[in-house]
Amino acid sequence: MSATATDSFVSSYEEVTRVRIEDPGRFARLAAARTRRTVADTDGTMMIIAADHPARGALGVGARGQAMASRTELLDRMREALAVPGVDGVLGTADILEDLLVMGALEDKIVFASMNRGGLQGGSWEIEDRFTAYDAASIKQAGFDGGKMLTRIDLEDDRTSFILEASAQAVTDLARHELIAMVEPFMSSRPGGPGTKVVNDLSPEAVIQSIHIAQGLGATSAYTWLKLPAVEDMERVMDATTMPTLILGGDPADDDPETLRASWGRALARPNVRGLVVGRTLLYPAGDDVAAAVSASVDMLRSVS
């Protein structure tokens, strides 16, 4: 499937909707014709902008519970972030990636596709994290670089066994398509009991345990990467794996941006840490200057690489 002369990019959100009504096949044609970069084209480190939280019903940013409710505002912020020099790519679900694709924002970008968004925030089944978005075949067909899966491990919740099996199958399937499997593991629990909020254990010991579980998933680890939080004692944490690792941005609250970047910098000093995957922290920064927040993080990333 190749793009035609009429498969131009659009410049307004009204036009995006019109394409969805009148010519939905344009998304696949533009994906096939897209100017691509791959992980091998980078200088060894990557800055990836993430926007897959809304599909899990997680719209909050710090104290702003509905910060990501406006899709057009989110897309504005995504496009601004992706235009910053030094940003390598994006992570998202199909709805967001296709909006960005038809507006030309995915040209020359590395693209990771989010796979399991079924663990809706606040759901009684949240740990289960059903695979409700991309699968390996659709990622390959779109010409993207890999798939990301959230793998939360609650030893008190029997549904954890499902997500472990599903993640293992996804790792194996992605590898068969020669695609990166980006696994984001957490040791999680509900300290308040059943029906209360899921909390991730960010102690070094818990992160190390999650690493060992995650990197053993699947029939091969050849294409497995990890997506991990920046926590205390990252030298010991990263000694738990030889997998290439990207550091996640976390859930922004009232943290000082300089403190956040310092924690990322300490993690990036480890040789198997290969970059950042940051979303809400940079898309909705204090002061709302997206370009400045992204630029500062890119500068920090390049200075330690």
Reduce the secondary structure of 167-207 to three states and give it as a string.
HHHHHHHHHHCCCEEEEEEEEEECCCCCCCCCEECCCHHHH
Percentages of the chain per state (helix, strand, coil), in multiples of 5: 40, 20, 45
Per-residue pLDDT at 253: 58
Q: What is the pLDDT of residue 252?
A: 64
Q: Which residue segment(s) compose the domain that 5 sits in?
A: 1-33
More confident residue, 67 or 7: 67
Is the same domain home to 4 and 103?
Answer: no
Long-range contacts of 286-289 (CB under 8 A, 24+ apart): 286/257
| pLDDT exceeds cutoff 60 at 123 | yes
Is the confidence at residue 204, as pLDDT, over 80? yes
Indicate if 23 and 112 belong to the same structural domain: no
24 and 105 share one domain: no
pLDDT at 254 over 80: no
pLDDT given at position 110:
97
Is residue 9 located within the same domain as residue 95? no
What pLDDT score was predicted for residue 191? Answer: 93
* Cβ contact 53:60 at 8 Å: no
**Across residues 131-135, what is the average pLDDT?**
98
The answer to whether residues 65 and 201 belong to one domain is yes
CATH number at residue 282: 3.20.20.70
- 274 and 232 together in one domain: yes
Comparing 302 with 15, which gets the higher pLDDT?
A: 15
How many structural domains is the chain composed of? 2
pLDDT of residue 299 exceeding 80, the answer is yes
User: 224 and 282: one domain?
Assistant: yes
If asked whether residues 61 and 153 sit together in one domain, one would say yes
Assess whether 214 and 150 both reside in one domain.
yes
Burial class (CB in 10 A: 0-12, 13-18, 19+), 113: buried
| pLDDT band per the 50, 70, 90 thresholds, residue 268 | very high
**How far is residue 268's CA from residue 262's CA, in Å, rounded to a whole number?**
10
In this predicted structure, the answer to whether residue 64 has a pLDDT above a threshold of 90 is no
* pLDDT attached to residue 278: 95
In Å, the largest CA–CA distance within the chain is 58
Indicate whether 21 and 167 sit together in one domain.
Answer: no
Structure tokens at 149: 């899966």
Given a contact cutoff of 8 angstroms between Cβ atoms, the answer to whether 94 and 141 are in contact is no
Give the span between the Cα atoms of 187 and 229, in whole angstroms. Answer: 12
Same domain, 24 and 66: no
Both 9 and 150 in one domain: the answer is no
What's the pLDDT score for residue 63? 83
Give residues with Cβ within 8 angstroms of 189, minimum separation 6: 154, 155, 156, 198, 199, 201
